[in-house]
Amino acid sequence: MLNASYAGRTLPTTGPVAITAESVSRFARALGLSDAASVPPTYLITLTLPAADPLIDDPEFGLDWSKVLHREQRFAYHRELRAGAEVTCTPVVESIKTVAGNDLLTLRTEVADADGLAAEVWTTLFVAGDPQ
């Protein structure tokens, strides 16, 4: 079981990370897209997932990756991001809900550039509970 006291906790903001043309092209090719003129909508997961490492690595939180299934991913862009931008990511443990002995963990990560909030990314994980 996850430590429910983490709900509402904000993790440290990452240092600036550059969105490079090379990383955007590589991500686009992995999706089967030939045009990498703009950042694919799902590209931000490559930045937001590593931003949650402090939580994932925290033994007091209690996350066991062998029991995790990815449930949902949502993106809200407030403006377009382009290669060359530098962004920071601030993950927030939005909620931890226990349903039938399993946990649903929702993280919201704010992605900001020099002009402020550019996007928000929600990641929901299903964490299987211990068998009874």
| CATH code: domain of residue 85 | 3.10.129.10
| Total-model pTM | 0.92
Residue pLDDT, tens place only, 76-95: 999 999 999 999 999 999 99
* pLDDT confidence of residue 69: 95
Handedness of CA 120, 114, 58, 45 (dihedral sign): positive
In which domain, by residue range, is 105 found?
Answer: 4-127
CA–CA dist 123, 10 (Å, integer): 15
Walk across the sheet containing 102-113 and list its strands.
17-18, 86-99, 102-113, 116-127, 68-77
β-pairing, 17-18 vs 86-99, is: antiparallel
* pLDDT confidence of residue 3: 97
Percent of the chain with pLDDT strictly greater than 90:
84
- The answer to whether residue 132 sits within a structural domain is no
Number of domains in the chain: 1
